[in-house]
Amino acid sequence: MSAVRSYRSSLQRSWDSLTREDRPSVFTMNGREWDLLDQVFAPPHTASTGVAMDLLGLSEARSRPWTGSMLEIGCGTGIIAVTAALAGCERVVASDVNPYAVRNAALNAARHGVTDRVRAVHSDLFAGLPADERFDTVYWHSNFVLAPQDYRYRSVHERAYVDPGYAAHRRYLAQAPDRLAEGGRALLHFSSRGDSTALRSLARETGRELRLLRSVTVPDAGDLVEHMLWEVSDGRTSGGVARGAVE
Ligand SMILES: C[S@@+](CC[C@H](N)C(=O)[O-])C[C@H]1O[C@@H](n2cnc3c(N)ncnc32)[C@H](O)[C@@H]1O
């Protein structure tokens, strides 16, 4: 396994981000200030959140209006979910398996005056959401590094970095398209730190199709990392009406 894909390097990055002396409690990104709680994935310590926003069309450089509804799985600080609401999304659910992230997203929704549009929910993928709730966009900037199946997380923070046996990715591929409103899109932000061959196998096994919408390669922590925005579908949807910015 290459250095870029080593799960141990990712766990080290998790530890470094948690323990850095300069870890901020407030950071600036995309021209706005954001709260950052302990144990929550820190956007200023990685290129990936900024790239995620750019790939979605939510960055300062590439911002477009959004409409409709969005479910963000793995919201972390809530920066993506709150920015989507500020860009015009009318109903946003910001969910995370990490309870600190859920609190963090609620704080940032309040900081930016969008609590009427952003609901922060504690949920393991879709398990904590009403079974009949549907969205125009379902999105996850995932913990795309594959860890051994028997790896046990040592902190909730590590959940942002690695996925043991890609068990969560398998469930996301299987379940995300079923949470879409008519014409909606299920999206996955993945990277070359992850195992694309394993992801494709999972897509085949779960009967899903992956379509690359955008990719960009950026330097991150000494590596060159390709970030990809995939559409996950059941093969019947053909792009549909993307009410978000990914056109
Ligand atoms: C790479 S971080 C992205 C955080 C944030 N969206 C950002 O871009 O800064 C991945 C997020 O997915 C969350 N996560 C991991 N496994 C999850 C699961 N099974 N259900 C929900 N969220 C999960 C992590 O806690 C983490 O917040």
pLDDT by 10s per residue, the chain, length 247? 454 568 999 999 999 999 999 999 999 999 999 999 999 999 999 999 999 999 999 988 777 889 999 999 999 999 999 999 999 999 999 999 999 999 999 999 999 999 999 999 999 999 999 999 999 999 999 999 999 999 999 999 999 999 999 999 999 999 999 999 999 999 999 999 999 999 999 999 999 999 999 999 999 888 899 999 999 999 875 444 334 445 5
Task: Give me ligand 1 centre to Cα 167, in Å.
Answer: 14
Q: According to DSSP H, which parts of 90-232 are helical? A: 99-111, 167-175, 196-205
Q: Which of 53, 95, 122, 143 to mutate to test the pocket of ligand 1 (most atoms within 8 A of CB)?
A: 143
In the reported structure, the alpha carbon of residue 159 is separated from the centroid of ligand 1 by a whole-number distance in angstroms of 7
Q: Is 160 touching ligand 1 by the criterion CB < 6 Å?
A: yes
* 75 pocket-lining for ligand 1 (C-beta < 6 Å): yes
* One-character DSSP codes across 211-224: EEEEEEEEEETTEE
Q: pTM here?
A: 0.94
26, exposed or middle or buried, with CB in 10 Å at 0-12, 13-18, 19+? exposed
Residue 152 has a CB neighbour count (10 Å cut-off) of 8
Domains contained in the chain, CATH given: 7-233 (3.40.50.150)
Residue 158 is classified by DSSP as: G
Q: What share of the chain is helix, strand, coil (3-state, %, to 5)?
A: 30, 30, 40
Is the beta carbon of 125 within 6 A of some atom in ligand 1? yes
* pLDDT at residue 170, rounded to an integer: 98
Give me the residues paired with residue 35 across strands: 26
How many CB atoms are closer than 10 A to CB 7? 20
Cβ(78) – ligand 1 distance below 6 Å: no
Report the separation in Å between the CA atom of 242 and the middle of ligand 1, taken as the mean of its atom positions: 23
Are residues 40 and 77 in contact, defined by beta-carbon separation less than 8 angstroms?
Answer: yes
DSSP code, position 1: -
pLDDT confidence of residue 222: 84
C-beta separation of 120 from 80 below 8 A = no
What are the angstrom distances between the C-alpha of 60 and each of 31, 50, 78? Answer: 7, 10, 17
Distance 160 CA to ligand 1 centre (A): 5
